[in-house]
A and B are shown apart, each in its own frame.
Chain A
Amino acid sequence: MNQPPPDDPPRGGLDRRRLLGIGGSLLAAGAGTPLLGACSVTGATKAGRLGDPDRAAITVWSWQGPAAAMKALVPAFQTQHPGIDVTVQDIGNPAIWDKITTAMAAGGQGLADVLHIGVDYLPAYTEKFPDGLADLGPLGANRYRDAFADGMWQSVTRKGKVNALPWEANSAGFYYRADLFEAAGVDGEALATWDDAIDAGKKIKKATGVHLLGIDKPASQPDAANFFQMLLQLQGTFYFDAAGRITLGSPEAVTAMTLIKEMNDAGLVSDLAGGWTALENSIKSGTAAVLPWPTWFGSIIEGLVPKESGKWKVRLPPAVKPGGTTAATVNSTHLAVAGSSMHQAAAWAFVEYILTRPESQEAIYRSKGIAPALLKAYEAPVFHEPSKFFSGQHKGEIFLNALKARSPAVNYSADYARALKTVADAQTQVLLKGADPARALHNAADQLARQTGRELAS
């Protein structure tokens, strides 16, 4: 019979050596954690693996409408890929950005396999976390280079790496209450410039009491500057030029902000303080005659005020200057595969199924009105049918023409979020305090330059 060693306590208890061992392990874990921390400091992401392309359980992060659209396509996907189990999670927007950012800062820990990312966040993610997203090129993405709308490929590639595949490409739109325009004796289709729109707005306000449009004046949400941004893009400029220099003080920017001030001073701008809820309330109560929102917004209007079917029309926005462009791709979203994913091949299979098959895109457009970046999708009849809600217009074709039109590439840069905040503040100063547009924008440009270290464009 083996005797216990002299110093051992009775069996069943924890001996000192074992306790010290456990303590040592815990301390080692504690000491090892800084290494993980160092990963987050360097922004590096653990390299993932391709995994089995036919057998995996993958998770997708998206938000409201797109998440619902993807969920609806999962059963069809699984008939082709029975071994791949897909869970689509509606994280919500803007909550999804915080969730992705935190996970990427933690070296990719906890990220879903497939990530839905807007063009406003993609450059920052790819620049700050170079390994955060998988390179889709080796997985087969490069063969779709010419399948998407003009400019889309530039927005998803960086230094030869394909960070995502384009999903939706939204063109600037001009949704308007045709009945109110008619009551004021204004032809909505005849508005050539935004100056014409201001004149029309005055007539509409006088005849119906309704504002021309609404803006979130105190910028309670970051997208308060959407309209200003659209006016910039209609002039072929943005917050940064192609070289990444700040162009907030450009004549085009001043023109755009001056237009907004003119509208506001004329009493044509209702306040949408409160963000999305205020916008919805505004549409339901009909406080604005025009909604200068992109392609996807049409289905939102239809959903909010279905009884107003036939009272609405849609067109591309007026130009800022006579003869100027009326087409601008104002935003896009994309599907990416996380760099930390252990199932990159299966995740790519899902992305490819959703984004490169016209049938998938057609189904998404039918259910949520999301306009595809995939040009071949537009061959489907649904994009060429008259819309009952929009007074029998061919809404799909209107936006398709905008998508085909050459619109200047937009450099969002890694500092877009900071620029957007600075612009929104400048707009608030103009709208609430009557600040001079040029001065407010030059101050904003200087502040942005100091914060980011970027140069000001001459």
Chain B
Amino acid sequence: MTTTTTDGVLTAAGVSRPATAPRPTARILRRRAVPYLFILPALVLFAVFKLYPIGSSFLMSLYENVNGTQEFVGAGNYTRALDDPLLWTALKNTAIILVVQVPVMLALAVGIAVALNSTVLRGRAFFRLGFFMPTVTGLVAYGIIFAVLLNTQYGLVNWLLGLVGIGEVPWLTDPLWAKISLGLALTWHYTGYNAVIFLARLQSLPTELYDAAAVDGASAWQSFRHVTLPGLRPALLLTTVLSTIGTLQLFDEPYVLTGGGPDNATLTIGVYLYQNAFKYFDFGYASAVAYILTVLIGILGIVQFRLLGEKS
């Protein structure tokens, strides 16, 4: 039996296919293309604002501006970096902050998270808010506030210390104290952020583990050491990696607080990179420093994942 339709053609099987309907292969292609079309804008934006600068920056790192013209120097900027004492100073300063400030901050954050998670503590919401508040403060704003607070002659901190008979502390004007001041500022700003991550993890730990530990007669310390700390392992990995990346990219605080001084005592890789690009117009070298930094972050990230990551 055959049937005709008003807008179709007659098929052998008597089933009509609309004249406007695509062929099956075209339909499949169209269906497959749809998701790609949806992600296309994001892909294009990513390519323009991320991939292109990354590639362009690498290209730039192979050039040097000589009298206004770009000259290809190949790995010249990278070999120059190896022999640059200021870059080594910046690396050393960054490493000191990484080794001293980050562990102190994370230990503090764990302590605060445990305290905030305790049912004994009253007004927990208030304290949680209090510890998290510094995190939302603008980087430059808090840098300026610390600079004012820690001013040797006119700062509030030295004034308060003076009230209890302690002489002027050269917070920002002595190389060692400047490093300590920078560490204090960073700790104040980021401890609450890490504490919130730890707190979230603590709240997901099964209470049965603590009950079992209690039944086995574990003390509070033993319970913390054998239940809490292993439970925090994924959060510790996350915060350590994030803090490492953040420290290696450190810019705002030393820039606002000390300008990298005195005598480069708080010069970080980020500040040095900025100085080379925007103060000395040495964009090629600054790009090379950026790539060195990227490689360092990558290596440290892998090492940390290996050391702290879950073993399957």
Contact = CB atoms under 8 A, between A and B. Distances in A.
Interface of A: 4, 6-8, 16, 19, 23, 26-27, 29-30, 33-34, 37, 40-43, 97-98, 101-102, 105, 124, 127-131, 217-221, 271, 273-274, 278, 281, 414-415, 417-418, 421, 424-425, 428-429, 432-433, 447, 450-451
A416 to B, nearest CB: 9
Given A16-B30, A27-B44, A30-B47, A101 B278 contact: yes
B140 interface: no
Contacts of B263: 218-219, 425, 428-429, 432-433
Contact of A16 (B33, B56, B153, B264): B33
Interface stretch (B223-231, B233-241, B254-262): B254-262
Nearest to B285: A451
B167 interface: no
Contacts, number: 130
A271 B152 contact: yes
Given A16-B30, A220-B261, A414-B281, A432 B174 contact: yes
A48 to B, nearest CB: 17
B44 A26 contact: yes
A41 B59 contact: yes
A455 B281 CA distance: 20
Given A4-B20, A34-B52, A127 B40 contact: no
Given A26-B41, A43-B70, A274-B147, A428 B261 contact: yes
A128 B279 contact: no
Given A30-B52, A98-B278, A23 B262 contact: no
Interface in B56-111: 56, 59-60, 63, 65, 67-70, 83-86
Interface centre among A4, A30, A415 (most CB of B within 10 A): A30
6 contacts: A26-B44, A40-B56, A97-B279, A218-B173, A219-B261, A432-B262
Interface residues of B, number: 50
A129 B30 CA distance: 49
Contacts of B175: 432
Contacts of A7: 20, 22, 26
Contacts of B261: 218-220, 424-425, 428
A451 B47 contact: no
Top-3 shortest CB links A-B: A218-B262, A130-B68, A37-B56
Contacts of A278: 151, 153-154
A34 B86 CA distance: 32
A421 B56 contact: no
A415 B68 contact: no
Given A41-B56, A43-B68, A97-B279, 4 more contacts: A130-B67, A130-B68, A217-B262, A278-B153
Given A7-B20, A7-B26, A30-B52, A428 B84 contact: no
Contacts of A102: 278
A220 B263 CA distance: 10
B22 A218 contact: no
B196 interface: no
B65 A271 contact: no
B258 A271 contact: no
B205 to A, nearest CB: 46
Nearest to A424: B261
B44 A37 contact: no
A191 B24 CA distance: 99
A432 B174 CA distance: 8
B83 A450 contact: yes
A451 B258 contact: no
Contacts of B56: 34, 37, 40-41
A447 B85 contact: yes
